Structure 1
Amino acid sequence: MLESNQEYKLRLKTLGEIGKFTRGNGIAKSDLKLNGKPVIHYGQIHTTYNIRTDKTFSFVDDQIYSKLRKANFNDLLIVTASENQSDLGKSIVWTGKNEIGISDYVYAYKTKENSKYIQYWTQTNYFKEQKNKNMRGSSIYYLLQENMEKFKILIPPLELQNKIVAILDKFQDAIEHSKGLLPQEIELRKAQYEYYRDKLLSFDIDVTPERERESKIQ
């Protein structure tokens, strides 16, 4: 699936080293409208969006929008509050050309790396293990920026990130276009996607999270 004769360097970095978090602010559900300035409310990332979007389903008036923090093209939008642990940390990539407003409990994560690569990484057990160690709360669970900035991630060169994203996009498309298939066939597609996602993003390398190092893969 990847060229076996090419050598790449892997970097073990923290999210804080490769990107910047911006926390959203005040959008009440009662502020949401059917037209106006585009916004994404944190609850909608749980219920309305998949892994990326170039349009919003909600809007606010100009006065509210002017006070909001914004997300821009290719920002990763991460939910940092949830009533259940599994939904905490769910993320989408904003692929629209225009800026949008974001609500509280959403972090816009800006990076020069491929944000779609990082979005796929947030689905892996390696991310979930770090999330589970750092979540706070009981009835409602939270992730704090100061903790997320320390999350460790393996970063290959951008060229390889792009290749991995292209492969995983094909698996994701197969799942999204599985309407009419038998339940067993749908589950098989999901299992294949998860298998290759975890293989591609772990590189089958034993890393030491306490320190940064460079590794090579072939």
Structure 2
Amino acid sequence: EQSRAEQSRAEQSRAEQSRALIKLMQYVFGYAMLPLSEIANVFRGEYITKKNEKAGNIPVILGGQEPAYYIDRANHTGEIVAVARSGASAGFVSYWDEPIFITDGFGYEVKKEVATPKYLYYVLKNKEIELNGMKRGAGVPHVSGERLGEINLPVPPIEEQKRVVSTLDRFDAICNDLTSGLPAEIEARQKQYEYYRDKLLTFKEVAAT
């Protein structure tokens, strides 16, 4: 028990030193370059077959860009970033904040003191082509979890991450969500139109002679 307690204190000390070093790099350079394994804990998928599962409303993350099918149980709840492991879509990155079932893929649960889930999603999404290029193997090529863990990613302070996420979320809504993005775009263009309309049709008064 004493040995376990000493080991626990040593691990806690190393974690504190690591956090202090990250904060120092962020202060000096604006961000720290960290391997994915230091940003998030990996959640490995569980192998299942559709015929052995009951249909439901829980999406199964199998390896494609859309859920493969839906079942009645989940193996993960809460925020997570999923990376497809095999096939043509290997390396495809998706973000989930609902119960899901990850099978042929990796899930990444961020270490909250280091990053936010949505920031990790965006920074990995920006590397999808690189991730897809990492797949290896004959037959059905796959991405190695060990190699994914070694990818270095820029990690600014949490507040800066939130600012980046807020900006990218707005662009994502405008570009991809027709129900909210399109009306928002129309409203923005309407305001822009009204501004220039008022600007162009406002003239200085000429004093009477």
TM-score (norm 2): 0.62
Secondary structure of the corresponding residue to residue 48 of structure 2: coil
Considering only CA atoms, is the larger Rg found in Structure 1 or Structure 2?
A: 2
Alpha-carbon RMSD across the aligned residues, in angstroms, is 3.1
Q: Is 1:13 paired with 2:28? A: no
- Structure 1 match to 2:92: 90
Aligned: 1:77 with 2:82: yes
Question: Which position in structure 2 is the counterpart of 1:25?
Answer: 46
- For residues 175-194 of structure 1, give each alpha carbon's deviation from its aligned partner in whole angstroms, at most 9, with x where no partner exists: 12458xxxxxxxxxxxxxxx
Contact 2:94/2:121 (CA < 8 Å) preserved in 1? yes
CA distance in structure 2 between the aligned counterparts of 1:131 and 1:15, rounded to whole angstroms? 16
- In 1, distance between residues paired with 2:90 and 2:79? 21
Q: Name whichever structure is richer in strand by fraction.
A: 1
| 1:165 CA displacement | 0.8
Letter in 1 for 2:172: Q
- Superposition pairs of residues 34-183 of structure 1, within 5 angstroms: 34-35=55-56, 38-43=58-63, 45-48=64-67, 58-60=70-72, 65=73, 70-82=75-87, 84=88, 87-96=89-98, 99-103=99-103, 105-111=104-110, 112=112, 113-124=115-126, 126=127, 128-129=129-130, 131-132=132-133, 134-178=134-178
Using the alignment, how far apart are the partners of 1:78 and 1:130 within structure 2?
9
- Give the aligned length: 152
Moved over 6 A (4+): none
CA deviation vs aligned residue, 1:83-117 (integer Å, no higher than 9, x gap): x2xx2211222212xx44321x2111111211111
Question: Cα deviation per residue 1:110-160 (whole Å; 9 max; x = unaligned)?
Answer: 112111111111222x5533652x321244221111111100100001111
CA–CA separation in structure 1 for the residues paired with 2:165 and 2:151: 21
Q: Percent identity at matched positions?
A: 20
How many angstroms does 1:27 deviate by?
1.9
Q: 1:46 to 1:120 in 2, by over 3 A?
A: same
8 A contact 1:8–1:157 mirrored in 2: no
**Unaligned 5+ residue runs, structure 1?**
1-5, 50-56, 180-218
Cα distance in 2 for partners of 1:177, 1:101 equals: 25
Q: Whole-Å Cα distance in 2 between the matches of residues 110 and 178 of structure 1?
A: 29
Q: Closer, same or farther in 2 for the Cα pair 1:73/1:171, shift >3 Å?
A: same
Is the 1:122–1:128 contact (alpha carbons within 8 Å) kept by the matching residues of 2?
A: no
Distance 2:31 2:96 in 1: 26
- Asked whether the equivalents of residues 73 and 94 of structure 1 are also in contact (C-alpha less than 8 Å), the reply is yes
Residue deviations 1:16-65 (CA, integer Å, cap 9, x gap): 111111211122132454427x342314x51359xxxxxxx6113xxxx5
Mapped to 2, the partners of 1:22 and 1:16 lie a distance apart of 11
More helix by share: 2
Deviation, structure 1 residue 81: 0.7
TM-score, normalised via structure 1 length: 0.59
8 A contact 2:31–2:155 mirrored in 1: yes
- Which structure 2 residue ranges, 5 or more long, are not aligned? 1-26, 180-209
